[in-house]
């Protein structure tokens, strides 16, 4: 036991199903992790923001370079997206469609551009399904 702190549990001792105090000098507790996935939690449980009448919108972004708000891009350092570069534009669209609100989609996403680059975007399956359902409901196909 030399060098070991008796008040610090090893991780193998934490999987007993109870809340265990990890450190007695602070109020740090450990809880066992779930062994199964929940159908009500996780990214797929989040709503996908699709504004009403989005197909009638036209976004004219005066600036060529855009820094997304923190609720869309929260990592550091902040990124500047150059919309003249295809890679930057596509990444901005992916982020806004996945993380943005209806207001963000209306502000940063141009409907006609989205139609043109749809097949190039890498989106989570739940986001792609929601948008494709929206497109189908308006008779828009990508054949």
For residue 55, what are the contacts with CB-CB under 8 A and spacing of at least 6?
Answer: 111, 138, 140
- pLDDT, residue 133, reads 93
Q: By CB neighbour count within 10 A (0-12 exposed, 13-18 middle, 19+ buried), where does 82 fall?
A: middle
Give the whole-angstrom CA distance, residue 107 versus residue 11.
47
- pLDDT, residue 23, reads 56
Residue 103, pLDDT above cutoff 80: yes
**Entry pTM:** 0.67
| Lowest-pLDDT range of 15-29, 58-72, 74-88, 98-112 | 15-29
- pLDDT, residue 59, reads 67
- pLDDT, residue 58, reads 64
10-47 confidence digits (pLDDT tens): 444 544 445 555 555 555 555 555 566 556 666 666 77
Average pLDDT over residues 78-85: 89
124-142 confidence digits (pLDDT tens): 999 999 999 999 998 888 7
Given phi > 0 = left and psi -120 to 50 = alpha, else beta, which region is 139?
left
Using alpha carbons, select from 32, 9, 4 the residue that is nearest to residue 22.
Answer: 9
């Amino acid at each position: 036991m030399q060098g070991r702190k008796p008040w610090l549990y090893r991780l193998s001792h934490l999987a007993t199903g109870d809340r265990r105090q990890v450190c007695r000098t602070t109020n740090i507790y450990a809880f066992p992790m779930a062994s199964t996935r929940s159908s009500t939690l996780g990214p797929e449980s989040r709503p996908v923001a699709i504004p009403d009448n989005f197909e009638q919108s036209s976004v004219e972004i005066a600036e060529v370079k855009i820094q997304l708000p923190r609720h869309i891009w929260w990592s550091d350092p902040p990124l500047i997206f150059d919309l003249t570069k295809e890679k930057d534009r596509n990444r901005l669209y992916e982020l806004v469609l996945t993380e943005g609100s209806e207001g963000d989609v209306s502000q940063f996403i141009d409907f006609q551009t989205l139609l043109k680059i749809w097949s190039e975007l890498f989106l989570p399956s739940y986001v792609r399904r929601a948008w494709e359902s929206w497109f189908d409901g308006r008779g828009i196909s990508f054949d």
